[in-house]
A = this chain, B = another copy of it.
């Protein structure tokens, strides 16, 4: 019935839109079948592998990508394909926020911003004129104790000026661990949450929220993307236990549930994704190379796909309205990074660096979901 309604409403539109929307509809319909319906663990053929412990379900990640990637047409204007902001970059780290922000553009976002410290800004700007870099964060060494409150207020006011324009924030790449800076970022997270802006948290952002879980607890639009060590600290803090590799899927489910349904993307040989309701696995592609920076690509990619999935989910006529956009974003981001890493490795082998993988993001998306 819904399908009929959607199809009918499309018939009243012009031919171009009809084709585009039908294509979107077919993709979404396929996605529903790929992900299963009704929530919970989907009992498809993968369930044959279930043993005594709960198993994750390998999803058809390419179908997810096709379902959530927007159809491009001439009526679209700048910004509609996504405006992403990365909060990160300090005196010590400048590569990570650049990798996250440029990855967002290469996936297909229209605008990508970076909010970093004053020291980091000229360097990040110099990596690429494509990014809009705001030199507004401050570290303790440059702030007198008595000025902290005023400066903190200024930082927050500056971010707030932009906040509502963003479709997603990535918090953490190259953030560092300066206490004053992290206090400011805690406030930024709180404001993002008040404005219902999705947040993807990685790197030092995970250090921050692991020590202050209230910042994200219960926020359905938050995504955590821990690597092995970050996951270990999260499990210790949230579940007061050690990582259990045998019952890993169940533990991830419990972890996510315990933080109130925040989506957790646990990076590894297979990437596991849970929102406390389901556990999905992405194992396709991938590379043997473990150069630093791939996590930054992932966080930027997840941010874009999450934004796209959320746009679609907001449409009551969409078949995605019942799906968690954070989970869809993680599945798509994980698969695209793994595909790009695989492509880069096929030519660059041991010498593959993060920039090589970023250069393959466009082809990875195009191979799965042609732009036209």
Contact = CB atoms under 8 A, between A and B. Distances in A.
Contact of A126 (B78, B123, B365): B123
Given A122-B122, A288-B372, A362-B348, A354 B107 contact: no
26 contacts: A74-B286, A76-B290, A77-B227, A78-B227, A78-B292, A79-B290, A81-B290, A93-B132, A94-B129, A95-B125, A95-B129, A95-B132, A105-B291, A106-B353, A107-B351, A110-B291, A123-B126, A129-B293, A129-B355, A130-B293, A132-B292, A288-B371, A349-B362, A349-B365, A350-B365, A350-B366
B288 A99 contact: no
B351 A361 contact: yes
A73 interface: yes
A353 B361 CA distance: 13
Given A349-B366, A349-B370, A366-B350, A290 B80 contact: yes
Contacts of A76: 288, 290
Given A130-B355, A354-B130, A111 B81 contact: no
By Cβ-Cβ distance, the 10 closest A-B pairs, closest first, are: A351-B362, A95-B129, A72-B288, A108-B350, A349-B371, A78-B290, A126-B126, A106-B351, A123-B125, A111-B292
A92 interface: yes
Interface string A70-97: 0011111111110000000001111100
Interface string A265-298: 0000100000000000000001011111110000
A99 B129 contact: yes
A94 B134 CA distance: 11
Nearest to A126: B126
A299 B365 CA distance: 31
A95 B131 contact: yes
Contacts of A74: 269, 286, 288
Nearest to A98: B129
Contacts of A110: 290-292
A198 interface: no
Interface residues of A, number: 67
Nearest to A92: B134
A135 interface: yes
A1 to B, nearest CB: 33
A133 B124 CA distance: 13
A94 to B, nearest CB: 5
Contacts of A293: 129-130
Which among A129, A289, A349 has the highest number of chain B CB atoms within 10 Å? A129
Contacts of A37: none
Contacts of A134: 92
Interface in A204-234: 227-228
Interface in A306-346: 345
Contacts of A361: 351
A46 interface: no
